[in-house]
């Protein structure tokens, strides 16, 4: 990002984006499900690994109520904008992905597991396929011995972009649900594919739990 237009975009878009997200948070009526799962670890000054689908990323830094987190963000141009926006919510970022800077970013995440902070990863990013869990979070769980907690954000009204992940932008004054699933551990001697399937299923079930809770109040999830 060396052109004047790029520099202006980097200077203006993150604070404006953060302000928009904050206003959305204030206007949303958000319910939390399963927050006792991460809180059990926070009370022990221990961090967890959050696994959240890429399309639900927008509101998670603002809605998160934990002691602090480090998010894996792509090294792409769009990732730079996201990383700068996330910092307005006092969350840390680790730059890299499965396609750019992956090894260095992964080592940084593993080292960050020595700190009492949460780690967050979008396991279907940065390019999909949508809602298909990749190996990165599996390896992170195996090497750090941390629990992986599925995280889902759904809302009653919003816009789905025509991107590979159908990225979700909630509308103001919508109803939202942030759901945490039960923690999953990588078992000693377990095959990587076995854990990947377990976590894939847990994430799908956690999102369904959030959707069903929203729809039980008479509104549909977008």
Read off the CATH number of the domain in which 118 is found: 3.40.1130.10
- Is 107 within the bounds of a domain? yes
Among 64, 71, 36, 27, residue whose Cα is nearest residue 182: 36
Q: Are 153 and 32 in contact (CB under 8 A)?
A: no
3-state secondary structure of 94: strand
Q: Which residues are bridge partners to 1 per DSSP?
A: none
Beta strands 29-33; 175-180: pairing state: parallel
Residue 132 lies in a domain: yes
Count how many residues are written for the chain: 222
N-terminal to C-terminal alpha carbon distance within the chain: 34
Tokens of 191: 């095959």
Q: What is the pLDDT of residues 92-131, one digit of tens each?
A: 999 876 545 567 888 889 999 999 999 999 999 888 999 9
Report the number of distinct structural domains present in the chain: 1
CA angle 80, 27, 13 (to 5 degrees): 20
Q: Which whole-number Å values give the CA distances from 65 to 88, 127, 157, in the listed order?
A: 15, 28, 23
What does the pLDDT read at residue 26?
98
Instruction: Tell me, yes or no, whether 62 lies in a domain.
Output: yes
In a domain, 220, yes or no: no
Question: Does 221 fall in a domain?
Answer: no
- 148 assigned to some structural domain: yes
pLDDT of 48-72, one tens digit each? 999 999 999 999 999 999 999 999 9
Instruction: Answer whether residue 91 is part of any domain.
Output: yes
Does residue 222 form part of some domain? no
| Residue 161 belongs to domain spanning | 4-215
Q: What is the pLDDT of residues 141-162, one digit of tens each?
A: 999 999 999 999 999 999 999 9
Mean pLDDT, the chain, whole residue set:
93
């Amino acid at each position: 990002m060396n052109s004047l237009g790029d520099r202006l975009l980097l200077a203006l878009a993150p604070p404006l984006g953060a302000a928009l997200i904050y206003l959305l948070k204030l206007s949303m009526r958000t319910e939390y499900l399963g927050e006792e799962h991460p809180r059990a670890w926070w009370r022990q000054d221990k961090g967890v690994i959050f696994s959240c689908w890429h399309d639900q990323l927008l509101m998670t830094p603002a809605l998160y109520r934990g002691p602090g987190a480090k998010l894996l963000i792509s090294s792409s141009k769009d990732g730079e904008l996201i990383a700068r926006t996330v910092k307005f919510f006092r969350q840390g970022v680790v730059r890299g992905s499965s396609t750019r800077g992956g090894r260095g970013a992964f080592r940084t995440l593993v080292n960050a597991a020595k700190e009492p902070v949460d780690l967050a990863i979008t396991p279907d990013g940065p390019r999909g396929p949508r809602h298909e869990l990749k190996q990165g979070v599996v390896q992170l769980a195996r090497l750090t011995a941390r629990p992986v907690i599925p995280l889902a954000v759904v809302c009653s009204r919003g816009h789905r972009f025509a991107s590979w992940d159908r990225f979700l932008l909630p509308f103001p004054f919508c109803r939202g649900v942030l759901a945490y699933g039960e923690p999953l551990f990588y078992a000693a001697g377990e095959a990587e594919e076995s854990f990947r399937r377990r976590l894939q299923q847990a994430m799908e079930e956690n999102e369904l739990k959030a959707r069903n809770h929203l729809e039980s109040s008479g509104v549909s999830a977008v």
